[in-house]
Structure 1
Amino acid sequence: MLDRYLYYRDVLDNFVSKDKDIKVYNLSSAEWKKVNELHKFLKVFYEVTNSFSASNTPTANVYFHGVWKIHKKLDEVYNSPPSFLSTMVIDMHEKFNKYWSEYSLILSCAAVLDPRFKLERVEYCYSKLYGNVYAKEKIEDIKNTLFELYDEYKDVFGESSHFVKNTSNYDHVLGVNGRMDDEEDYATFLSKKRKIDAEKSELELYLEEKNVDLNEDLNVLLYWKKQSERFSCLSCLARDILTVPISTVPSESAFSMGKKLINPWRSSLSPQTIEALACHEDWLRAKAFSTGRSSIFGYGDDVLGEDENDEEDNDETPAM
């Protein structure tokens, strides 16, 4: 609604100014500025909601970055100078911290298994919220969790053999007289050192590789399917983690205010009628009118959700 409203600003101003019946609703420059500010604030929530509900089964890697974007936006407004958004954001900030202040560890691991993110991007996100010290602690927790999971999968699926050549070691070391000194003992020492320094797991190799472009539109499950031959064990781990549901609550139930706007038969109302009811309630409230039984729509309190005895705090939120 705000997108369309801002796009047609000049048209609306011209139309409303010429109609005496609705001229009272014409917005001043200060009010237009507030609309623009509100649009920028809500756009983050709109984009994240679309990301989470873009398909029937969004992969778990979208969780971390989506929640981080909302968290960052709330913090920015919460810590900025007071504005008309302040009261609303205080309540939102409190509710957000109630459910999301502790990021799910396993779903944070899913972000690392997105080749566009890996550890660097996750560390950057944490540092922007909590500072560098806390970010390093969280990254260490995530890294340890990933390696523990990888070890379990390695025991079941095995792993490909990966060796990195260590060219800094000589095959032979000559003594002062050109002879081999303690040849057998040195060969054993060198063999152990090379095994420790040169052999790397699939997870280590994956984390050391260059990240995929952050803006690339990537199907992460297809990516790991293509990597299954090279990273046989890690790809199994990745696909299991990435298919963890972000939420057990449907997006419509988690974000919709339909329950507070209309009655249980709302499915019989068109989207235009629902939008009209929401706007009508807001306009009447702005003019200090009561949305009681005298509603011009004829639905009354049970439709607009203004029953004073209804104290329900609709706290449906995405479950971990």
Structure 2
Amino acid sequence: MVSRLLHNREAVQATLDQQNNHRLVMLTEAEWGKLQKLELLLEPCRYVTELLGGEAYVSCSVVLPAFRHLDRIMDITDDDPAYVVKFKNAFQKDLAARQANANKTWLEVATALDPRFKDLKCLPKQKREQVWTSLEDMLHTAESRRATTLQPYTEDDEPAQKKRRSALLLGSDSDSEDGMEFGELQRYRAEPSISMEDCPLQWWYVHSGAYEKLSVLARKYLASPATSIPCERLFSLAGHIVQKKRAALLPENVTKLVCLSDWLKK
């Protein structure tokens, strides 16, 4: 809105001059200068909003880096005039309230499992190791659940006997799969970060053989959208398809039409 007003400044001025209405007062030069400064501050917000609302790429792991980027943008400097300081303070207060309501644990794990942001520079240094510890606990918990689902031993069930032996090994202090999980996590941390243009899901697909258990967690966490905007788009699309005159469409036909509409765009 601000950008459009600045772009059409001369046209707006000419239109108001023709109105011959003294109650319509144009902005002063000082106010135009404030709008130009605010446009620069709001541009990163527009970009982040569009980025987190995308649906053709991974967005969940981008939330914390985006928040950190906005925090840096809104840092108050000595050169900021009073109205900019007021704006930045209000923005930081609102952003902090939204961060407090976010599922930080989920976002931190998603960021760590994204090969683009796994250095976790968007988090404080003391917080980074806690995230990796949480990931290690998740691997141990997943393996423990898998071990508890093993069938008990019976004399006429040889496969169950092998599973039982595996469960005994998992519970021992020897070189078990717990060590393999730990090594898997350490090897992933040692991997170089990928480019921002690369797809993290494609990276995990290629490396799923080397990181069998981590890749399962990556699919779970990275598949979550950052916002509900993609879901809202889907509801809007379905609303355009199932109209008043098409209310008798079968559910399976609605699904086909929604999918075809999405595929045609791509």
Name the TM tier (shorter chain).
Answer: 0.5 to 0.7
Matched, 1:136 2:118: no
- CA deviation vs aligned residue, 1:72-104 (integer Å, no higher than 9, x gap): 333x14887442234344333333323315870
Give the TM-score taking structure 2 as reference length.
Answer: 0.59
Shift of residue 242 of structure 1?
1.5
The runs of at least 4 consecutive aligned structure 1 residues that moved more than 6 Å come to 197-200
For residues 88 and 180 of structure 2, the distance between their equivalents in structure 1, rounded to whole angstroms, comes to 52
Q: Please give the alpha-carbon distance, in whole angstroms, between the structure 2 residues aligned to 1:152 and 1:100.
A: 28
Instruction: Note the C-alpha offset of 1:152.
Output: 2.9
Superimposed CA distance per residue, residues 206-252 of structure 1 (whole angstroms, 9 cap, x where no aligned partner): 11111112xx32332232222212222111011112234535x6589
> Following the alignment from structure 1 to structure 2, what is the Cα–Cα distance between the partners of residues 246 and 52?
6
Assess if the C-alpha contact under 8 Å between 2:136 and 2:182 holds in 1: no
Distance 1:61 1:209, change over 3 A: same
| 1:151 equivalent in structure 2 | 140
Superposed CA offset, 1:40-70 (max 9, x none):
1111221111112122885421221122223
SS in 2 for 1:228: coil
Inter-CA distance 27–21: structure 2 relative to 1 (3 Å threshold): farther
TM normalised by structure 1 equals 0.51
Structure 2's unaligned 5+ residue stretches are 148-173, 233-266
Equivalent residue for 1:219, pick from 191, 196, 199: 199
Change beyond 3 A, Cα 1:113–1:36: same
Task: State the distance in 2 between where 1:202 and 1:48 align.
Answer: 33
Percent identity at matched positions? Answer: 22
What is the SS of the residue equivalent to 1:85?
helix
Task: From 171, 181, 187, give the equivalent of 1:205.
Answer: 187
Q: Quote the residue 1:114 is aligned against.
A: 114
1:52 touches 1:62 (CA, 8 Å); kept in 2?
A: yes
State the distance in 1 between where 2:20 and 2:92 align: 39
Partner residue in 1 for 2:72: 72
Map 1:162-311; keep pairs closer than 5 Å.
201-213=183-195, 216-247=196-227
Q: 1:136 to 1:86 in 2, by over 3 A?
A: closer
**Can you list the C-alpha shifts for 1:163-212, whole angstroms capped at 9, x where unaligned?**
xxxxxxxxxxxxxxxxxxxxxxxxxxxxx9xxxx9997222111111111
Higher relative contact order (CA 8 A, sep 6+): 2
TM-aligned CA deviation for residue 26 of structure 1: 5.5
Q: How many residues align?
A: 199
| 1:5-154 equivalence runs, <5 A | 5-8=5-8, 11-12=10-11, 15=14, 19=18, 21=20, 24-25=25-26, 27-28=28-29, 30-55=30-55, 59-74=59-74, 76-77=75-76, 81-101=80-100, 104-119=104-119, 122-123=120-121, 125-126=122-123, 135-154=124-143
| Aligned residue type for 2:36 | N
**Secondary structure in structure 2 of the residue aligned to 1:204:** helix
Give 5+ residue unaligned stretches, structure 1.
127-134, 159-191, 254-320
Change (3 A) 1:42 1:242: same
Deviations 1:268-304 (A, max 9, x none): xxxxxxxxxxxxxxxxxxxxxxxxxxxxxxxxxxxxx
Q: Say if 1:198 and 1:252 are closer, same or farther in 2 by CA, change over 3 A.
A: closer
